[in-house]
Amino acid sequence: MARVARGDRAAFAEVFRHFAPRVKAYLVKSGAVPALAEDCMQDVMATVWRKAAQFDPARASLAAWIFTIARNRRIDLLRRERRPEAEDLAWGPQAAPEAAEALALQQDAARLARALSDLPEAQRQVIVQAYFGDLSHAQIAARTGLPLGTIKSRTKLALDRLRHAMGRE
């Protein structure tokens, strides 16, 4: 990604090949018709290229950073709402991010991804729906035919497992 930030087109092509289909699939799953999803995906990837220098591997994985860009674009285009974003921390005059920090974060992200794929299918589906379905608990319940209490307890179970896998609790 450092190469992308320096304007290396070949490096960006790699990022593009990996993420463009995923971003589009995410948008389709969130309810965009394919033409809109394609347009929106191009916009997201153009933003990734343009803002590459702002990507900080000590603060987010590349996938998470691209996810937030796609998420915001989706809110903007599909819901036509603003996205209130928390105030950025005042980082102060600080050296370049520690390589060790970036590495720790990438390892956490990898552990999280493994924990997600190890979740029982029913729990993972609830999380997937929560992120990609643009559905509230009540709407998920209506779609899957599961009672609201079950959905909530599954979400909680899934979150607890993820948390556990991340060694937070």
Partner 1 sequence: MTPRPAPRHHPDAALLMAHAAGTLPEAFSLVVATHVSLCDTCRVELAAHEETGGALLEMMAEGGSGRHEAAMDQDGVLEKVLERAQALPEAAPPAPPAPGTDLPEPLAAYVGGGMDAIPWRRVGGGIRQAVLETGPDASARLLYIPGGRAVPDHGHRGLELTLVLSGAFSDSEDRFGPGDLELATPELEHTPVAEPGAPCICLAATDAPLRFTGLLPRLAQRLMGI
| Pick 1 or 74: Cβ nearer partner 1 | 74
In angstroms, give the least distance from the CB of 143 to partner 1.
14
Rounded to the nearest 5°, which phi and psi values hold at 109? -60, -40
- Tokens 């290396």, located at residue: 8
- Tokens 């998470």, located at residue: 64
Nearest to 74 by CA among 43, 49, 52: 43
Nearest to 153 by CA among 139, 117, 161: 161
| Pick 60 or 141: Cβ nearer partner 1 | 60
Amino acid at 71: R
The answer to whether 40 touches 74, Cβ cutoff 8 Å, is yes
CA angle 109, 115, 120 (to 5 degrees): 150
In angstroms, give the least distance from the CB of 103 to partner 1.
15
In angstroms, give the least distance from the CB of 101 to partner 1.
13
| Pick 128 or 146: Cβ nearer partner 1 | 128
| Pick 42 or 100: Cβ nearer partner 1 | 42
In angstroms, give the least distance from the CB of 99 to partner 1.
19
| Pick 93 or 145: Cβ nearer partner 1 | 93
In angstroms, give the least distance from the CB of 87 to partner 1.
4
The answer to whether 97 touches 56, Cβ cutoff 8 Å, is yes
